[in-house]
Amino acid sequence: MMVAIFAALLLALAAAWLGRQTIAIACLIVCLALSIGLFLFEIYSPDYGFRMPWIQTQLDGVAPASRAPRA
Amino acid sequence: MTAATPRMLAWMNYGYLLLMMLVIAAILTTAMVLQYGWGELPCPLCLLQRVALFGVCFGIIQTFRLGDSGRNSGLSLLFAIFLLVVSMRQSLLDIYPRPGHAYIGSAVFGIHMPVWCVLIALALLIAYSLKLALLDGRDARAIPLAEFPALSHAAKAAGACVIVLCAINLVSVVVQCGFDACHTSGYRLLQAVQ
Protein backbone atom coordinates (compact mmCIF):
# COMPACT_ATOMS: atom_id res chain seq x y z
CA MET A 1 0.00 0.00 0.00
CA MET A 2 2.74 2.46 1.01
CA VAL A 3 4.60 1.73 -2.24
CA ALA A 4 1.45 2.50 -4.24
CA ILE A 5 1.03 5.79 -2.34
CA PHE A 6 4.60 6.93 -3.03
CA ALA A 7 4.41 5.75 -6.66
CA ALA A 8 1.21 7.78 -7.21
CA LEU A 9 2.80 10.74 -5.45
CA LEU A 10 5.95 10.58 -7.59
CA LEU A 11 3.83 10.38 -10.75
CA ALA A 12 1.74 13.35 -9.57
CA LEU A 13 4.80 15.49 -8.80
CA ALA A 14 6.53 14.58 -12.07
CA ALA A 15 3.36 15.26 -14.08
CA ALA A 16 2.88 18.61 -12.31
CA TRP A 17 6.49 19.57 -13.02
CA LEU A 18 6.04 18.65 -16.70
CA GLY A 19 2.75 20.58 -16.90
CA ARG A 20 0.45 17.55 -17.35
CA GLN A 21 -2.28 18.87 -15.11
CA THR A 22 -4.97 16.21 -15.61
CA ILE A 23 -2.62 13.30 -14.92
CA ALA A 24 -1.10 15.16 -11.98
CA ILE A 25 -4.44 15.85 -10.30
CA ALA A 26 -5.68 12.29 -10.96
CA CYS A 27 -2.53 10.76 -9.43
CA LEU A 28 -2.71 13.12 -6.47
CA ILE A 29 -6.34 12.18 -5.75
CA VAL A 30 -5.38 8.48 -5.89
CA CYS A 31 -2.45 9.20 -3.55
CA LEU A 32 -4.65 11.13 -1.08
CA ALA A 33 -7.39 8.48 -1.11
CA LEU A 34 -4.88 5.67 -0.48
CA SER A 35 -3.17 7.74 2.23
CA ILE A 36 -6.44 8.37 4.09
CA GLY A 37 -7.32 4.66 3.78
CA LEU A 38 -3.93 3.58 5.12
CA PHE A 39 -4.11 6.16 7.93
CA LEU A 40 -7.49 4.82 9.07
CA PHE A 41 -6.18 1.25 8.80
CA GLU A 42 -3.10 2.10 10.88
CA ILE A 43 -4.96 3.84 13.71
CA TYR A 44 -7.77 1.30 13.96
CA SER A 45 -7.45 -1.14 16.85
CA PRO A 46 -9.53 -4.33 17.06
CA ASP A 47 -9.83 -3.71 20.83
CA TYR A 48 -10.51 0.02 20.98
CA GLY A 49 -11.69 0.92 17.47
CA PHE A 50 -10.72 4.55 16.85
CA ARG A 51 -11.02 5.49 20.53
CA MET A 52 -7.99 6.35 22.65
CA PRO A 53 -8.84 4.96 26.10
CA TRP A 54 -5.30 5.57 27.41
CA ILE A 55 -6.14 9.28 27.45
CA GLN A 56 -8.11 9.92 30.63
CA THR A 57 -11.10 12.13 29.90
CA GLN A 58 -13.22 11.50 33.00
CA LEU A 59 -12.64 12.64 36.54
CA ASP A 60 -12.25 9.68 38.91
CA GLY A 61 -13.71 9.80 42.40
CA VAL A 62 -15.46 13.11 41.95
CA ALA A 63 -19.14 13.48 42.80
CA PRO A 64 -21.34 13.99 39.69
CA ALA A 65 -22.68 17.33 40.98
CA SER A 66 -19.23 18.88 41.10
CA ARG A 67 -18.58 17.80 37.48
CA ALA A 68 -21.33 20.01 36.16
CA PRO A 69 -20.05 22.94 34.11
CA ARG A 70 -20.11 26.34 35.75
CA ALA A 71 -22.37 28.54 33.73
CA MET B 1 -0.76 52.50 -6.19
CA THR B 2 1.90 52.43 -8.92
CA ALA B 3 1.90 50.18 -11.98
CA ALA B 4 4.81 48.22 -10.57
CA THR B 5 2.90 47.03 -7.51
CA PRO B 6 1.20 43.91 -8.98
CA ARG B 7 4.51 42.82 -10.49
CA MET B 8 6.28 43.26 -7.19
CA LEU B 9 3.46 41.42 -5.41
CA ALA B 10 3.74 38.54 -7.88
CA TRP B 11 7.51 38.40 -7.39
CA MET B 12 7.11 38.33 -3.61
CA ASN B 13 4.38 35.68 -3.89
CA TYR B 14 6.53 33.34 -6.03
CA GLY B 15 9.59 34.00 -3.88
CA TYR B 16 7.60 33.24 -0.74
CA LEU B 17 6.32 29.95 -2.21
CA LEU B 18 9.84 29.03 -3.34
CA LEU B 19 11.12 29.65 0.18
CA MET B 20 8.34 27.46 1.60
CA MET B 21 9.22 24.63 -0.80
CA LEU B 22 12.93 24.89 0.05
CA VAL B 23 12.11 24.66 3.77
CA ILE B 24 9.95 21.57 3.15
CA ALA B 25 12.72 20.04 1.01
CA ALA B 26 15.19 20.70 3.85
CA ILE B 27 12.85 18.99 6.35
CA LEU B 28 12.46 15.96 4.06
CA THR B 29 16.23 15.81 3.52
CA THR B 30 16.75 15.90 7.30
CA ALA B 31 14.31 12.99 7.64
CA MET B 32 16.35 10.98 5.12
CA VAL B 33 19.61 11.86 6.91
CA LEU B 34 18.10 10.71 10.23
CA GLN B 35 16.92 7.50 8.56
CA TYR B 36 20.19 6.53 6.88
CA GLY B 37 22.78 8.41 8.96
CA TRP B 38 21.34 7.62 12.39
CA GLY B 39 19.60 4.35 11.46
CA GLU B 40 16.13 5.51 12.51
CA LEU B 41 13.48 3.59 10.61
CA PRO B 42 10.30 5.52 9.87
CA CYS B 43 6.96 4.12 11.02
CA PRO B 44 3.94 3.99 8.64
CA LEU B 45 2.47 7.19 10.11
CA CYS B 46 5.89 8.90 9.77
CA LEU B 47 5.89 7.95 6.07
CA LEU B 48 2.37 9.35 5.69
CA GLN B 49 3.64 12.61 7.20
CA ARG B 50 6.30 12.70 4.47
CA VAL B 51 3.55 12.10 1.88
CA ALA B 52 1.67 15.10 3.29
CA LEU B 53 4.77 17.30 3.02
CA PHE B 54 5.27 16.23 -0.60
CA GLY B 55 1.58 16.99 -1.17
CA VAL B 56 2.11 20.57 0.00
CA CYS B 57 4.99 20.81 -2.49
CA PHE B 58 2.65 19.54 -5.23
CA GLY B 59 0.42 22.60 -4.88
CA ILE B 60 3.46 24.87 -5.01
CA ILE B 61 4.87 23.15 -8.12
CA GLN B 62 1.45 23.49 -9.79
CA THR B 63 1.49 27.21 -8.93
CA PHE B 64 4.95 27.61 -10.48
CA ARG B 65 3.85 25.77 -13.60
CA LEU B 66 0.33 27.11 -14.15
CA GLY B 67 0.19 30.32 -12.14
CA ASP B 68 -1.30 31.14 -8.78
CA SER B 69 -4.84 29.89 -8.22
CA GLY B 70 -7.22 29.00 -5.43
CA ARG B 71 -7.14 25.34 -6.50
CA ASN B 72 -3.39 25.02 -6.07
CA SER B 73 -3.43 26.77 -2.70
CA GLY B 74 -6.37 24.58 -1.68
CA LEU B 75 -4.48 21.39 -2.54
CA SER B 76 -1.48 22.50 -0.49
CA LEU B 77 -3.74 23.44 2.43
CA LEU B 78 -5.51 20.06 2.17
CA PHE B 79 -2.20 18.23 2.61
CA ALA B 80 -1.11 20.59 5.41
CA ILE B 81 -4.33 19.67 7.26
CA PHE B 82 -3.69 15.98 6.53
CA LEU B 83 -0.21 16.41 8.03
CA LEU B 84 -1.74 18.01 11.12
CA VAL B 85 -4.31 15.22 11.54
CA VAL B 86 -1.78 12.39 11.12
CA SER B 87 0.88 13.94 13.36
CA MET B 88 -1.66 14.91 16.03
CA ARG B 89 -3.06 11.37 16.10
CA GLN B 90 0.44 9.90 16.32
CA SER B 91 1.39 12.27 19.12
CA LEU B 92 -1.75 11.24 21.04
CA LEU B 93 -1.02 7.58 20.28
CA ASP B 94 2.37 7.74 22.00
CA ILE B 95 1.66 10.45 24.57
CA TYR B 96 1.06 7.97 27.39
CA PRO B 97 3.95 5.52 27.97
CA ARG B 98 2.76 1.92 27.67
CA PRO B 99 4.23 -1.31 26.28
CA GLY B 100 4.78 -1.18 22.55
CA HIS B 101 4.04 2.52 22.32
CA ALA B 102 6.90 4.94 22.56
CA TYR B 103 7.81 7.87 20.38
CA ILE B 104 9.62 6.67 17.25
CA GLY B 105 13.19 7.94 16.84
CA SER B 106 15.29 10.25 18.93
CA ALA B 107 14.26 13.70 20.13
CA VAL B 108 15.54 16.83 18.39
CA PHE B 109 15.80 19.72 20.89
CA GLY B 110 13.78 17.55 23.26
CA ILE B 111 10.86 17.20 20.85
CA HIS B 112 10.05 13.97 19.02
CA MET B 113 9.24 13.76 15.30
CA PRO B 114 5.42 13.55 15.48
CA VAL B 115 5.33 16.61 17.72
CA TRP B 116 7.71 18.41 15.35
CA CYS B 117 5.28 17.53 12.54
CA VAL B 118 2.40 19.12 14.48
CA LEU B 119 4.47 22.31 14.72
CA ILE B 120 5.49 22.08 11.04
CA ALA B 121 1.84 21.62 9.99
CA LEU B 122 0.80 24.64 12.06
CA ALA B 123 3.67 26.67 10.59
CA LEU B 124 2.58 25.71 7.06
CA LEU B 125 -1.04 26.67 7.77
CA ILE B 126 0.06 30.02 9.21
CA ALA B 127 2.44 30.59 6.28
CA TYR B 128 -0.32 29.89 3.76
CA SER B 129 -2.75 32.13 5.67
CA LEU B 130 -0.22 34.97 5.53
CA LYS B 131 0.36 34.38 1.82
CA LEU B 132 -3.38 34.53 1.10
CA ALA B 133 -3.86 37.56 3.33
CA LEU B 134 -0.88 39.64 2.24
CA LEU B 135 0.39 38.45 -1.16
CA ASP B 136 -2.80 37.61 -3.00
CA GLY B 137 -4.04 39.99 -5.67
CA ARG B 138 -6.03 39.55 -8.88
CA ASP B 139 -3.56 41.58 -10.95
CA ALA B 140 -0.58 39.80 -9.43
CA ARG B 141 -2.14 36.39 -10.12
CA ALA B 142 -2.25 37.14 -13.84
CA ILE B 143 1.55 37.47 -13.97
CA PRO B 144 3.22 34.10 -14.73
CA LEU B 145 6.45 32.94 -13.13
CA ALA B 146 8.16 33.09 -16.53
CA GLU B 147 8.17 36.91 -16.14
CA PHE B 148 10.92 36.46 -13.54
CA PRO B 149 13.67 34.37 -15.23
CA ALA B 150 15.95 33.96 -12.19
CA LEU B 151 13.07 32.96 -9.92
CA SER B 152 11.72 30.64 -12.63
CA HIS B 153 15.05 28.78 -12.92
CA ALA B 154 15.31 28.48 -9.14
CA ALA B 155 11.71 27.18 -8.93
CA LYS B 156 12.38 24.57 -11.62
CA ALA B 157 15.52 23.42 -9.82
CA ALA B 158 13.70 23.26 -6.47
CA GLY B 159 10.83 21.30 -8.07
CA ALA B 160 13.30 18.83 -9.59
CA CYS B 161 14.97 18.50 -6.19
CA VAL B 162 11.62 17.64 -4.55
CA ILE B 163 10.88 15.06 -7.27
CA VAL B 164 14.30 13.44 -6.75
CA LEU B 165 13.64 13.37 -2.99
CA CYS B 166 10.28 11.68 -3.64
CA ALA B 167 11.97 9.11 -5.92
CA ILE B 168 14.54 8.36 -3.20
CA ASN B 169 11.68 7.95 -0.72
CA LEU B 170 9.89 5.57 -3.09
CA VAL B 171 13.00 3.37 -3.41
CA SER B 172 13.49 3.56 0.36
CA VAL B 173 9.87 2.47 0.97
CA VAL B 174 10.29 -0.47 -1.43
CA VAL B 175 13.44 -1.55 0.43
CA GLN B 176 11.80 -1.11 3.85
CA CYS B 177 8.30 -2.42 3.21
CA GLY B 178 8.49 -4.44 0.00
CA PHE B 179 4.98 -4.52 -1.45
CA ASP B 180 3.39 -5.35 1.91
CA ALA B 181 2.54 -3.46 5.11
CA CYS B 182 5.35 -1.37 6.62
CA HIS B 183 7.02 -2.27 9.91
CA THR B 184 9.77 -0.58 11.89
CA SER B 185 11.62 -3.86 12.55
CA GLY B 186 14.07 -3.49 9.65
CA TYR B 187 14.48 -3.27 5.91
CA ARG B 188 12.35 -6.12 4.59
CA LEU B 189 14.19 -6.55 1.27
CA LEU B 190 17.64 -6.53 2.92
CA GLN B 191 16.46 -9.15 5.43
CA ALA B 192 15.16 -11.28 2.56
CA VAL B 193 18.57 -11.11 0.82
CA GLN B 194 20.43 -12.09 4.03
The whole model's pTM is what?
0.88
- Per-domain residue ranges of chain A: 2-58
Q: What b-and-e string marks burial along A14-52, b requiring 16 or more CB atoms within 10 Å of the CB?
A: bbbbeebeeebbebbebbbebbeebbeebbeeeeeeeee
* Cα nearest neighbour of A54 on chain B: B96
Whether A35 and B89 lie within 8 Å, measured CB to CB: no
Convert the pLDDT of each residue in B67-125 to its tens digit.
Answer: 888 899 999 999 999 999 999 999 988 887 777 666 767 788 888 888 999 999 999 99
Convert the pLDDT of each residue in B1-12 to its tens digit.
Answer: 444 488 888 999
Query: Does pLDDT of B191 surpass 80?
Result: no
DSSP state at residue B187: -
The sign of the CA dihedral A35, A40, A45, A51 is positive
Gap between the Cα atoms of B194 and B189, Å rounded: 9
Q: How many CA atoms lie within 13 A of B8 on its CB side?
A: 6
Convert the pLDDT of each residue in B140-152 to its tens digit.
Answer: 778 888 889 999 9
**CB proximity A26 to B under 8 Å:** no
Can you tell me whether residue B82 is helix, strand or coil?
helix
* Cα nearest neighbour of B54 on chain A: A9
**CB proximity A15 to B under 8 Å:** no
**CB proximity A36 to B under 8 Å:** yes
Residues 91-120 of chain B whose Cβ lies under 8 A from any Cβ of chain A: 92-93, 95-96, 98
ipTM of the prediction:
0.87
